[in-house]
């Protein structure tokens, strides 16, 4: 079995690389990635060889794959030439979806012809994602184990972490996403900055001694300075991705709050106290978290939320042999 792989954005690339690592000996893998992409960095981390992207047709003709796995996301659509070639030549294609948002938009919806970018099959990794894919009519949803999360949780529980009294705010560039998508940074009625003000106003309710703001890679710490000057009595540190490992900060924090970043879901699986906070009715909660941990306001914060989460990963998905048989069987 010769499998071609092409991906760019981090989320689906993590899933695909973990899938390859789990089944290294089960296939002859051929990976294509942009040299400066998240996929390339993840491949290096896992010691997975890859070829720099070039002419898709030439690269695929050179290896004659039996199957193509491809990533999806927002940053770059460099997978599309590989997908189009395979679909033209009858090579099965499988799209990998991460998170629980913008599933159709990853393929170019609502532009004309967006359906041409879909895979023949759509790989998902939990029941919520499966339900979403079915409801949106994405082709042939397939349930696969989330080997990335399985390994991440297994490694995390072995770490020795001293839990402090820190409130960890996982910031996301909400204003930039709203501006890019809807032409209005306040489309949802809030930004990461207004949310931070809410958190600072209710800081005592979290029963924490200090606050860490973990920036999204696209954010700058200076954007928070004016807000923080108004709360001089609260001890605050701002960390970027180079300041500390995300897993270390999740494990050491007492309470973790954010919007709908995947890191909140990971923290909940680790038994941490997590809060998905969307101070609006104009945006739906996406993470598969308990309802009581999805808040539209921070007034009268329940003390129960300051206790650890009880969330488990159920066994999910088909094995590799069943996967291959499903996607390569003759019509």
Question: What is the structure's pLDDT at 37?
Answer: 93
DSSP strand pairing (28-33 vs 2-6): parallel
Residue numbers of the chain with a pLDDT score lower than 50: none
Strand 235-239 relative to strand 141-143, pairing: unpaired
Provide the pLDDT for residue 75. Answer: 77
Contacts of 58 by beta carbon, 8 Å cutoff, 6+ apart: none
Predicted structure pTM score: 0.88
Residue 38 CA: distances (Å) to CA of 35, 102, 126, 138, 169: 9, 19, 23, 25, 24
| pLDDT tens for each residue of 240-298 | 888 889 999 999 999 999 999 999 999 999 999 999 999 999 999 999 999 999 999 99
Is residue 260 within 8 Å of 195, Cβ to Cβ? Answer: no
The predicted pLDDT at position 330 comes to 53
């Amino acid at each position: 079995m010769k499998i071609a792989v092409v991906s760019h954005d981090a989320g689906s690339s993590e899933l695909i690389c973990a899938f390859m690592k789990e089944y290294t000996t089960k296939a002859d893998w051929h990976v294509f990635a942009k040299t400066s992409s998240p996929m390339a960095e993840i491949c290096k981390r896992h010691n997975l060889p890859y070829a720099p992207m070039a002419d898709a047709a030439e690269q695929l003709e050179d290896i004659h794959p039996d199957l193509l796995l491809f990533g999806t996301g927002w940053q770059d659509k460099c997978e599309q030439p590989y997908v189009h070639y395979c679909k033209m030549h009858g090579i099965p294609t499988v799209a990998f979806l991460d998170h629980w948002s913008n599933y159709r938009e990853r393929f170019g919806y609502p532009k004309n012809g967006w359906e041409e970018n879909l895979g023949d099959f759509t790989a998902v990794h939990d029941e919520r994602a499966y339900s979403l894919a079915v409801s949106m009519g994405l082709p042939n949803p397939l349930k696969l184990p989330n080997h990335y999360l399985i390994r991440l949780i297994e490694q995390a529980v072995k770490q020795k972490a001293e839990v402090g009294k820190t409130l960890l705010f996982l910031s996301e560039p909400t204003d930039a996403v709203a501006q890019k998508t809807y032409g209005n940074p306040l489309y949802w009625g809030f930004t990461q900055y207004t949310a931070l003000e809410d958190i600072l106003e209710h800081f005592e309710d979290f029963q924490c001694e200090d606050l860490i703001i973990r920036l999204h890679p696209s954010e700058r710490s200076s954007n928070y300075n004016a807000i923080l000057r108004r709360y001089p009595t609260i001890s605050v540190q701002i960390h970027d991705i180079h300041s500390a490992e995300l897993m270390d900060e999740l494990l050491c924090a007492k309470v973790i709050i954010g919007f709908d970043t995947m890191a909140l879901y990971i923290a909940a699986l680790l038994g941490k106290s997590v809060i998905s906070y969307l101070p609006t009715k104009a945006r739906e909660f996406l993470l598969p978290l308990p309802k009581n941990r999805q808040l539209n306001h921070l007034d009268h914060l329940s003390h129960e939320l300051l206790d650890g989460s009880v969330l488990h990963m159920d066994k999910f998905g088909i094995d590799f042999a069943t996967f291959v048989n499903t996607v390569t069987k003759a019509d």
